[in-house]
Amino acid sequence: MEEAAAHNGSAGAGPARPPATPGGMALAYGSLVLMALLPIFFGALRSVSCARSKNSSEMPETITSRDAARFPIVASCTLLGLYLFFKIFSQEYINLLLSMYFFVLGILALSHTISPMMNRFFPANFPNKQYQLLFTEGSGESKEEIVNYEFDTKDLVCLALSSVVGVWYLLRKHWIANNLFGLAFSLNGVELLHLNNVSTGCILLGGLFIYDVFWVFGTNVMVTVAKSFEAPIKLVFPQDLLEKGLEADNFAMLGLGDIVIPGIFIALLLRFDISLKKNTHTYFYTSFVAYIFGLGLTIFIMHIFKHAQVSSAVRCTCNLALEAASWGINPLCSAVSDTMSAEGQGSAPFKLIRA
């Protein structure tokens, strides 16, 4: 589900707050931009090793053109369903259920995110044992794997550390804990969700652009859900941090969809750059700069017009830039016959445009 991007004020109605200072707004918006760029950059890098991985627990989920075409419809149904739930049932109980759900997901996502970094801090003589969680259906030749997850003792340590953050979020709903989960969700999304080609990405970005315009500017549904939905599906940063410190409560926010959706497109272009076996990553850096420009334009428009603005400008800018890039990629793809599997990078053929 898409979230309203950077907008003034925290979720929910409340007493009028004094306007944010220019310094506070600059700090908040700058921090949001930085937090948006980090999971895209590092998630794209990790998506390369993810595509090469032969571990079934780390295999990416490939998005096809049919999935991309359906996504705005599914997202619209989900958004409308949440809107109706908040209108009919008590907001308190719905958020309690959602908090428990995202508590579990957040712990798993954060554990997977910090695991590669934490491995560097374990001593060489650390007693690391291997484990496997396996669920199957049927027996004999008809046996089918449902879950096959491999992990070790180091992963369990990371899971315990992530659980501390999870309990902190569950009890306090602190914005730092929210951001740790949000960054983990974003990085995992960019790493594990792979587009099969550029045309699929263009379908996805174009469809979600229309989705954003309709649900934000045509109705009050997305803004209402964004203000009622208490879950780490957005990155937030207080605009009154300089005045109130860590207990600040006047937030600017950016939805995770505004990071993950362009991010998986940018990650695709990085994998293509690497498949060319050149020292330059032209397509990756071009799309990354386009995203920065689009995100900056979105924040500028939001600040000038004071509208609860989703990142339509982000997707519009990225879509145009990446669509233009795809025209340059198309002739290259017809000449490049290498596949990711030939390089040990997965079993599915890797191409950006179908010939």
CA distance 218 to 221: 9
CA distance 183 to 203: 25
10 has a pLDDT exceeding 70? no
pLDDT at 353: 39
> Which DSSP helix (H) or strand (E) runs through 147?
strand 144-152
Phi and psi at residue 135, to the nearest 5°: -120, 130
Q: Which of 67, 152, 155, 212 is catalytic?
A: 212
Which residue in the block uniquely carries the two structure tokens 């695991």? Answer: 115
Q: 155 an active-site residue?
A: no
Looking at the chain, the whole-number percentage of residues with pLDDT higher than 70 is 80
350 has a pLDDT exceeding 70? no
37 has a pLDDT exceeding 90? yes
Looking at the DSSP bridge assignments, the partners of residue 274 are none
**Between residues 132 and 179, the one the model is more confident about:** 179
Q: Which of 155, 240, 258, 273 is catalytic?
A: 258
334 has a pLDDT exceeding 60? no
pLDDT digits (tens, 9 = 90+) for 311-328: 454 455 555 555 555 545
For 5, 36, 297, the CA distances from 309, given in Å and listed in that order, are 6, 16, 11
Q: What are the start-end ranges of the E strands in 170-232? A: 193-195
CA distance 264 to 189: 8
Other beta carbons within 10 angstroms of residue 309's beta carbon come to 22
Phi and psi at residue 237, to the nearest 5°: -150, 130
Looking at the DSSP bridge assignments, the partners of residue 153 are none
Q: 266-290: b or e for each residue (b if 16 or more CB lie within 10 Å)?
A: bbbbbbbbbbeeeeebebbebbbeb
| Maximum mean pLDDT: which of 68-72, 207-211, 246-250 | 68-72
Lowest mean pLDDT among 27-41, 291-305, 324-338: 324-338
pLDDT digits (tens, 9 = 90+) for 163-222: 999 999 999 889 999 999 999 999 999 999 998 888 888 888 888 888 888 887 788 888
Amino acid (one-letter) located at 100: M
pTM for this prediction: 0.82
53 has a pLDDT exceeding 90? no
* DSSP letter, residue 119: G
Tell me the three state secondary structure of residue 125: coil
19 has a pLDDT exceeding 70? yes
Q: Confidence band (pLDDT; 50, 70, 90) for 118?
A: confident
pLDDT at 33: 94
43 has a pLDDT exceeding 50? yes
Q: Confidence band (pLDDT; 50, 70, 90) for 15?
A: low
332 has a pLDDT exceeding 60? no
Q: 249 an active-site residue?
A: no
CA distance 205 to 196: 14
Lowest mean pLDDT among 33-37, 46-50, 161-165, 299-303: 299-303
pLDDT digits (tens, 9 = 90+) for 279-301: 888 889 988 998 898 888 888 87
CA distance 82 to 88: 10
pLDDT at 324: 53
pLDDT at 16: 60
Token pair recorded at residue 191: 């790493």
Q: Confidence band (pLDDT; 50, 70, 90) for 111?
A: very high
pLDDT at 311: 47
pLDDT at 125: 84
337 has a pLDDT exceeding 60? no
Q: Residue range 334-352: average pLDDT?
A: 39
pLDDT at 248: 85
pLDDT at 55: 62
**Between residues 306 and 248, the one the model is more confident about:** 248
pLDDT at 54: 61
Provide the mean pLDDT of the chain.
79
